[in-house]
Structure formats: structure tokens, C-alpha cells
Chains A and B, each alone.
Chain A
Amino acid sequence: MAGVEIVGLTKEYNVDGKTFTALRNVSITLPEGSFTVIVGKSGCGKTTLLRLLAGLETQTAGNISILDGGTAQRNRIGIVFQEHRLMPWLTVRENMAFSFAKRQDHGSAEYIVSHYLQVLGLEQFQNAYPSQLSGGMAQRVALGRTLCYDPDIILMDEPFGALDYFTRKRMQQEIVDIFLMQKKTVLFVTHDVTEAVYLGQNIIVMDAGEVVKELSVKLEYHRNAVSTEFMAIQSEILQSLSAR
């Protein structure tokens, strides 16, 4: 397992000759084994932060350190994207085994994939192709693919954004179950304040590329979204966003 320390992270893009700052001097810490949620409006820089952490982009300034027992070292980072991004030519089982290639021997790869197929309730669909799956199921396969990779840190970029209300609720519960089971460091990005409070132990509110508020949520999992405490936290987040 590992945590993450982000110090003074800045990301600028050049758009039509003008400099656009997507992230401005962001400093946050993701404690080891914690569930952190970044919440904010569209374009607030949350996805950019995630992409920088995943190594898909390079920061303009600042530093990202992966902390493992206090020593900065390279650890495995898995990402679940907004769209499922499954390989259309691979079956559910093959997609979930995608990260194994040469790294793992065949036997243990089979065992790990079978385990997560069962955990995510996908056993019946293991030979189906992505085009034959519903949106929720495809996103579950994408989650399974990342879990099979056995990352130290899991990044999730609005993975349930395109799902209907009921599927989304079920997936949120499943994520919490998996987190409680594995205790990996999770960074989850969403624009849905209710989702943020339902999932996060730590919530980071972002706006215009900056961190505007950090909260710690002490409520027990699984959380009741209509409880007074839940709604109070939700309201606090909304106020911090609307104040700007």
C-alpha cells in the first residue's frame, strides 16, 4: 500500500497561444489506505489532477511523491476512467486479465481474474464482448481490470457519471465494499456532492484549479444519505462552492 503527497502542483495548457491554468499550486496528501474524493464543478481541474497522478500528463510545476512507509518510491497506480475503455476485441475475462501479459504466470492470473469475476458478479458474462454489456456492467469490468492489476493506489475519474440512478447507487455500494475489504488508497473524482459524501473519508473541494476546502467525514459506511449529519456535510460543500 502507499499514500500520495502532492506539493505545489500546477498545470498549464497552451490554448490558441494563450496560457490556460488548469491547476494552480495544489498541495494535498492522500493518506495510505484512505478513500479521498475530489469534488467540484466541471472544468475545476479534478480530472487534470487525476491524469497527472496516473502519469498520463506532465505537470508544469510541483511534485508528486508516492509514499510507501515514508520512503518515496515507484508504486503501481491503477485508473478507472469515466468511460469503460474496454478493449472491444477482448472478452470480459480477457479484458480483466489485460494487465497480466508477461508479468504473471498463467495459473495465478486465472485465479485472480476468477476471484474478481466472482466479487463483481460477472461470472456469467465472462465470455461476453464489451459490445454485449450494459453500461453498468462494462464499468464493473473496467473496475475489475484495475483491481486485477493489484495497484497500490486506485484513481477513479467519475466512473459512474454515465450510469442511471439505480446502477450508480449499486456501484457506489460495491466500491465501498471493495474498499473495506482491500483498504487500498483510493482517489475518486466526481461532480456529484452526494456521491462524494457517500464515498469519501476525506473530501477535497476544488474550484477553478484550486483547493477551496478539505473535510474529513467521520460517518460509518454504508452511509445514510438522508441522515442529518450526511446532509450537513453536503450543505457545507455546496456552500463552499457557491460562495465563490
Chain B
Amino acid sequence: MRMAIHTRTLKGLILPGIIIAIWVSGAGLSIWNNYIIPSPADVIGAGYKLLLSGALIKHVLTSLYRVFAGFFAAFLLAFPLGILLGMNARYREYFQGILEFVRHVPPLAALPMLILWFGIGEWPKLLIVVLATFFPIFLNTLHGVASCDVKLIEVGKSFGLKGRETFRRIVLPAALPSVLVGMRLGLGYSWRALVGAELIAASSGIGYMILDAEQLARPDIVVLGILTIGILGTVIDWLFFRLTKRFIPWNGDEDASYGRG
């Protein structure tokens, strides 16, 4: 089992390894212009300087704060609403139209209006994260609750369980894998939407760092920003996956690609 995991990890590293090798050798042999594709040495150098100055850490922490604050707020809204509508099919009909409409609007499309209403401060960025994260959590919670196996509910009934107890002891645990998949998807979406928002309206954060570097003609910092986003996203997703496995040990490897977003 452990061997298989190691083999899988190694296989996953082959392509990135090839890309890095091409990048290093292309830069070393001056195959392309250093301005179009900055060399690995330039990117590492820029990262080192920004780390020393504290700027990189500051931008990363700002973005992380926005992601987690927005994610938490979205969870507080989406989880109870998903449960409420999952348990009550007749309420779903009232919400279906508006939720379908909002679901199809990309969060960034709302940014100009959010800036108009809330200014250029933290609120628009947090709201963008909330909008991006809400639907994966909401839809997966709703699906998890609504699709709870009736046969298991019958078991509860045969043991005398009623309303709340049935929900607590059967419906909620049955929905948990789906809820966690929704949260994992939401976390990924929030990260993407936030960087988009920071590229348009921000004075800090990784998105802002990339935009600022573009205006200062510093492609090495742009690449550094892209790599930072990718690495942070991967690490956060991995950590969340490890954490969720503790909550659902019976579920094996739950793949986020099966979720609803």
C-alpha cells in the first residue's frame, strides 16, 4: 500500500521534473529571451530578496487571511442552507431559480458592483471568496443530505429513532463525505477567485504582487507569484485532504473530482 503511494507520488513528479529540466536548460543555453521566460536563477533570486524584505510573506499572509475568512463565512452560510434545503424538498422549489441564476454568474463579474457598494477595501475581496466558495459547499451538502439512503433511515426507525436523532445519527454522518468534498472544492475555488480579485482591486496579496510586477516589467516576480499560488494551493489542498481523511476513515480515497460545483 505504502509502496503504491510512493510510486504514485513519483509518477506525479515526472512531468514537473521534465518541465523544470526544459526550463533550466533552455535558460542556460539562451534558447529564449530572458524577459519572455525568466531563468530559474532569476526567479529564485527574486524570491530570496522578497523573502528577506518580508514582502513575499506579507502578500502570502494577506491572501491566506482573505481565503480562510471568506471560506469560513461561506461555510457558515452554505452548510446550514444546504441542510435546510436538503431536508425539505418543498423549500428547495422557492430557492431553485435564484440559486441557479447566481451559480452561473462568475464571482469576478460582480466585482465592479461590489467595489461600487463597498469601496476598494477588504469587503469586495472577501465577498468574491464567499461567492466562489458558497456553491460547492452548498450543493454538496444539499446533495449529501438529500441523497441519504432511505434504507438506513428505516433502520433508525426500526430502532425507535425520531426526527432530530435520525438527523444527528444517520443523515449527518451519511452526508459528511459529500460535505467535505464540497469544502475541498470550495477551498480551491476561493483561491482562484481571490487572486482574480487581487489582480483587479487590491494593494496587497499575491494577485497584487503579480500585477505590480507586470507594471514594473519584472517577469521573474510574476513567475514567482504564479509558483507561490500553485504551491500554496497544492499544500492547502493536501493538508485539507489529510484532515478530512481523519473525519471519514471509512470512506477510503474520496476524490474531489466527484463533487458538485
Q: Report which A residues bind B (CB closer than 8 A).
A: 54-56, 77-79, 81, 83, 85, 87-90, 98-99, 101, 129-131, 149
Q: Report which B residues bind A (CB closer than 8 A).
A: 151-152, 154-155, 157-161, 165, 169-170, 173-174, 176, 248-252
Structural contact, B152 and A85, CB atoms closer than 8 A: yes
Q: For B250, what are the chain A residues with a Cβ–Cβ distance below 8 Å?
A: 88-90, 129-131
A-B contact pairs, 7 of them (CB 8 A): A56-B154, A56-B158, A78-B159, A85-B151, A87-B155, A87-B174, A149-B159
- Interface contacts beyond A89-B176, A98-B155, A129-B249: sample of 14 additional A-B pairs, CB < 8 Å, sorted by A: A56-B154, A56-B157, A56-B158, A77-B158, A78-B158, A79-B158, A85-B155, A87-B155, A88-B174, A89-B174, A99-B159, A99-B160, A101-B161, A101-B169
Query: Which of B152, B155, B169 is most buried by chain A, counting CB atoms within 10 A of its CB?
Result: B155
Shortest distance in angstroms between B147's beta carbon and chain A's nearest beta carbon?
A: 13
Count of A-B contacts judged by CB separation below 8 Å: 47
Closest 6 CB pairs of A and B: A129-B250, A99-B159, A89-B173, A79-B158, A85-B155, A89-B250
In the bound assembly, the distance between CA atoms of A101 and B248 in angstroms comes to 21
Q: For A83, what are the chain B residues with a Cβ–Cβ distance below 8 Å?
A: 151
Structural contact, B165 and A101, CB atoms closer than 8 A: yes
Shortest distance in angstroms between A148's beta carbon and chain B's nearest beta carbon?
A: 10
Q: For B158, what are the chain A residues with a Cβ–Cβ distance below 8 Å?
A: 54-56, 77-79
Shortest distance in angstroms between B106's beta carbon and chain A's nearest beta carbon?
A: 36
Q: For A129, what are the chain B residues with a Cβ–Cβ distance below 8 Å?
A: 249-250
A87 and B159 in contact, given A81-B151, A101-B165, A131-B250 (Cβ under 8 angstroms): no
Shortest distance in angstroms between A126's beta carbon and chain B's nearest beta carbon?
A: 14
Who on chain B is nearest to A88 by CB? Answer: B250
Shortest distance in angstroms between A28's beta carbon and chain B's nearest beta carbon?
A: 21
Structural contact, A87 and B152, CB atoms closer than 8 A: yes
Shortest distance in angstroms between B153's beta carbon and chain A's nearest beta carbon?
A: 10
Who on chain A is nearest to B250 by CB? Answer: A129
Q: For A90, what are the chain B residues with a Cβ–Cβ distance below 8 Å?
A: 250
Shortest distance in angstroms between B224's beta carbon and chain A's nearest beta carbon?
A: 43
A55 and B152 in contact, given A87-B173, A89-B248 (Cβ under 8 angstroms): no
Who on chain B is nearest to A128 by CB? Answer: B250
Shortest distance in angstroms between B166's beta carbon and chain A's nearest beta carbon?
A: 11
Shortest distance in angstroms between B117's beta carbon and chain A's nearest beta carbon?
A: 43
Interface residue from A81, A89, A98 paired with B159 (Cβ < 8 Å): A98
Q: For A79, what are the chain B residues with a Cβ–Cβ distance below 8 Å?
A: 158
